[in-house]
């Protein structure tokens, strides 16, 4: 266990929930790179212990359980980056109670601990893809009506409203990051995976790739390291605000398939299955506000990000 001396000026003790997961582990790496002292809390339901940087303290606990209080007492965080979640749209549609239990009650439990232990800043990783529903205009900015088509979108937005309450009543500073479709190394191709991880695994294994619906649905694909950078920037900026984190343009699933087929040398054609309930047809995000106020913009192109993702999967087969 790390000692908890005071970090250097400008550096903080940061607790990352879900820090053994896909996005969370990249956030941990970047926080450590920037000199912060990092602790991770994860129940390893979808996260993997080997994803956790060895320089971070690790606590095996569930954010919804009473024993998370002991984590706060041991780590004494000045800031929390909250990524632990039930993150599957499909699971949320089939089991909305589980989704709400993890995403809403688990988050409120964390917020109570933040108030109790004097946390200064709460960075909440929300969703852009599932929050706005079927867009009324594109790209969606933060003023777009919130009309989620899945319990997952509902639960993530509910916590945004709780954050407003905790800031007004308890003075807890917060920033919300509404992420587009995140992809990159360490994404689990078997769990609540994104399409890039699933396609990569199946293409490298020579298995059938399945596209749900026509394949003309559009997504805003943003590289995981770009998202981690947004979380680190949000520690010091954007209090009380929500920010879209995306690339501002849509890529069809068919176009994604073609790019990945070329990069992997995959020989087969996709199979088309019926669309899945709860999935939005077209969604991409306007991230101008993040550019202006957080100093964030995407740095990794889709082709470069896909190359790096595929290389990671090849190495770790």
Residue 311 within a domain: no
264 phi, psi to nearest 5 deg: -100, -15
Residue with tokens 């040398």: 265
Decide if pLDDT at 237 tops 60: yes
pLDDT, mean of residues 36-50: 97
- Residue 5 CA: distances (Å) to CA of 37, 67, 261, 278: 9, 23, 50, 47
CATH number at 33 reads: 3.40.50.720
What per-residue confidence (pLDDT) applies to 45? 94
Residue 3 within a domain: no
Q: What's the domain range around 24?
A: 13-183+221-247+285-299
Q: How many domains does the chain have?
A: 1
What pTM does this model have? 0.94
- The H or E element spanning position 74 is helix 68-75
Respond yes or no: is residue 152 known to be catalytic.
Answer: yes
Cβ–Cβ under 8 Å, residues 68 and 56: no
Decide if pLDDT at 4 tops 70: no
Q: If you average pLDDT over every residue of the chain, what do you get?
A: 95
Residue 152 within a domain: yes
Instruction: Indicate which residue of 124, 132, 137, 152 is catalytic.
Output: 152
Instruction: Give the model confidence (pLDDT) of 71-127 as tens digits.
Output: 999 999 999 999 999 998 889 999 999 999 999 999 999 999 999 999 999 999 999
Residue 59 within a domain: yes
Cβ–Cβ under 8 Å, residues 105 and 97: no
Residue 278 within a domain: no
Decide if pLDDT at 274 tops 80: yes
Instruction: Give the model confidence (pLDDT) of 8-20 as tens digits.
Output: 668 999 999 999 9
Decide if pLDDT at 315 tops 80: yes
Residue 113 within a domain: yes
DSSP output for 129-196: TTTS-S-SSSSB-TTS----SSHHHHHHHHHHHHHHHHHHHH--EEEEEEE-EEE-TT--SSSS--HH
Side-chain-side CA neighbours of residue 109 (13 Å): 22
> Which two structure tokens, joined as six digits, stand for 22?
């896909």
> Which two structure tokens, joined as six digits, stand for 50?
């080997």
Q: Cβ contacts of residue 237 below 8 Å, gap of 6+? A: 175, 293, 294, 295
- The H or E element spanning position 234 is helix 224-234
What per-residue confidence (pLDDT) applies to 7? 63
């Amino acid at each position: 266990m790390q000692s908890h001396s005071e970090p250097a000026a400008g550096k903080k003790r940061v607790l990352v929930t879900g820090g053994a997961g896909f996005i969370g582990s990249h956030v941990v790496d970047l926080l450590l790179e920037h000199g912060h002292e990092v602790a991770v809390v994860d129940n390893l339901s979808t996260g993997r212990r080997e994803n956790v940087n060895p320089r971070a303290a690790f606590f095996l606990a569930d954010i919804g359980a009473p024993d998370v209080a002991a984590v706060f007492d041991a780590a004494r965080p000045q800031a929390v980056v909250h990524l632990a979640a039930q993150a599957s749209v499909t699971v949320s549609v089939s089991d909305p109670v589980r989704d709400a239990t993890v995403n809403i009650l688990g988050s409120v439990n964390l917020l109570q601990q933040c108030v109790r232990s004097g946390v200064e800043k709460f960075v909440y990783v929300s969703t852009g893809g599932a929050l706005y529903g079927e867009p009324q205009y594109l790209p969606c900015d933060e003023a777009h009506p919130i009309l989620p088509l899945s319990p997952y979108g509902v639960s993530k937005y509910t916590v945004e409203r709780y954050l407003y309450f905790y800031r007004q009543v308890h003075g807890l500073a917060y920033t919300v990051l509404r992420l587009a479709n995140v992809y990159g190394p360490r994404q689990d191709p078997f769990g609540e995976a994104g399409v890039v991880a699933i396609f990569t695994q199946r293409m490298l294994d020579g298995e059938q790739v399945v596209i749900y619906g026509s394949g003309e649905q559009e997504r805003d694909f943003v590289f995981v390291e770009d998202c981690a950078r947004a979380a680190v920037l949000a520690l010091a900026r954007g209090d009380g605000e929500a920010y879209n984190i995306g690339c501002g343009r849509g890529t069809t699933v068919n176009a994604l398939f073609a790019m990945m087929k070329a990069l992997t040398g995959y020989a087969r054609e996709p199979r088309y299955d019926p669309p899945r309930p709860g999935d939005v047809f077209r969604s991409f995000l306007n991230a101008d506000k993040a550019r202006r106020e957080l100093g964030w913009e995407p740095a990794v192109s889709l082709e470069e990000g896909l190359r790096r993702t595929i290389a990671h999967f090849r190495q770790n087969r």
